[in-house]
Amino acid sequence: MPPHPTPARRRAITRLSINLGRLPLEVSHYIIEIIKARNDRPTILSLIRTCKKLYRICAPTLYEEIYLHEDNINDVLYGLQPAYDGSVIPTHCPDPMDDNDPFSRKYNLFRSVRFLIISDLMAFEALLKVTDDCWGPYDSKEPIMDFLGDLITLSIGPCVFLEMEMDDPWEWEHVLGRLGGLSPTIALCYDTGEETLSYSTSIILRDSLADTYTDTLSMHVLDLDGVNLDKYEIKNVQIFFIQTKEIEDRYLREMYPQYQEETIKSFMTRHFDPQAPSFVGLHSRIKTIQFHNVIYCDNKKKIKRQTKITDWITRTRITEHNQRTMVKAPHLLKERPDADESSRHGVHAGTSRPQVEKNHELRLSRLPTWIVDLFEQQEKLDRIADMVEFWHSGHGQCDGCGRR
């Protein structure tokens, strides 16, 4: 919508606001959700300015997902403390329906934040300063006002680590080291970009994540140097390697397949081989580890897609559109008697789920060959096969930021 809406647009919004004000609350919420699904933020902003009822309905939808960076700090945090044109933070939580002063309005809006993305160190530091002011005395164990208590996912952008690397990382320990205080309930995601973190930054990040309590930890990384999971009280770990096409350095792009294989092997040795000098082990709470964008899996997928002589007859036929098509061999199209019954239960025809899970050869076939060669004991391989997953590019998405 243009900065100055046309008279027709203003009349339409006025009629919409009048009708929404007359409808039951649940119906108004439903209509607002439709407007939000269409990503019609200008209409929501216009409705907010009409009356208090629509403000209370529409305003929280604008705060469900926040992208915080140094250019919008003052706007996003406006009213939360004197530094952002607000009053002194009170000693008690505002009422959910209280919107009489800037702090109460912004506090209640921040309670609606579900997805938070922090772009840079300045934004991170400003958010932590507001969080500190919402705590009680120094020796208190609970915040007076936990305005991010309903946070679902938290994402840390690559600029945070890039700025730390350009400066002395230890000077920013008071910022990144406080990551555990913003623990989301579902997923925590961080992106290191195309660079390998220094030893100092890796130590600071590792210690901060040790104080984080969430279900899933997702990381977008170039390699796994300095990544140890022995102190992370997290159920699921998602590791997304940078895709080869996104690497700008030509030499690194050519060497990355081998480099990725070596960093995965080193990671697996540290966590699954007690005899290794670098062994650290795994936290007992970790249940699954997923590797995404694995180049080995990409190559294996390409091989599987190649046409096999045993599966296809090379004869062709002319369709009604005069197109040359491959014809599946007749003996491969023959249905098995139990195909329909087994498909209802999501398993392959002729096999049951317990039989598949007990088949060691099938589970081990999902692992890269260089992982199987790395461990000699069958018990270790069985544990790895049950816990670790390797996926090709484009499979699955990050629980924290939604990227692949």
> What pLDDT, in 10s, does the model give residues 76-126?
888 777 777 766 666 677 777 777 777 778 888 888 888 999 999 999 988
Q: What is the distance between the alpha carbons of residues 189 and 393, in angstroms, rounded to a whole number?
A: 18
Range of the domain at 14: 1-62
With CA atoms as reference, report the closest residue to 43 among 15, 79, 71, 64: 15
Torsion of CA 112, 118, 124, 128, to 10 degrees: 20
Span 354-366, average pLDDT: 61
Q: Is the Cα dihedral 111, 117, 118, 123 positive or negative?
A: negative
Burial 151-171 (b: 16+ CB within 10 A, else e): bbbbbbbbbbbbbbbeeebee
3-state secondary structure of 281: coil
Between CA 189 and CA 196, with CA 194 as vertex, the angle to 5 degrees is: 85
Q: What is the mean pLDDT of the chain?
A: 76
Q: What is the pLDDT of residue 57?
A: 77
Residue 154 lies in a domain: no
Residue 88 lies in a domain: no
Q: What is the distance between the alpha carbons of residues 192 and 217, in angstroms, rounded to a whole number?
A: 14
With CA atoms as reference, report the closest residue to 265 among 252, 253, 276: 276
Domain count, the chain: 1
Residue 352 lies in a domain: no
Residue 351 lies in a domain: no
Q: Do residues 86 and 129 make contact, with C-beta atoms less than 8 angstroms apart?
A: no
Lowest mean per-residue pLDDT among 54-58, 138-142, 147-151: 138-142
3-state secondary structure of 324: strand
Residue 48 lies in a domain: yes
Residue 84 lies in a domain: no
Only one residue has tokens 């008279």, namely: 7
Residue 396 lies in a domain: no
Q: What is the longest distance spanned by two Cα atoms in the chain?
A: 82
Span 30-46, average pLDDT: 77
Q: Long-range contacts: 129-138, Cβ < 8 Å, 24+? A: 129/81, 129/83, 130/77, 130/80, 130/81, 130/84, 131/181, 131/182, 133/81, 133/89, 134/89, 136/91
Tell me: pLDDT of 264 over 90. Answer: yes
DSSP 388: E
Q: How confident is the model at residue 290 (pLDDT cuts 50, 70, 90)?
A: very high
Q: What is the distance between the alpha carbons of residues 271 and 380, in angstroms, rounded to a whole number?
A: 11
Q: How confident is the model at residue 266 (pLDDT cuts 50, 70, 90)?
A: very high
Residue 200 lies in a domain: no
Q: Which of 51-60, 183-192, 349-358 has the highest mean pLDDT?
A: 183-192
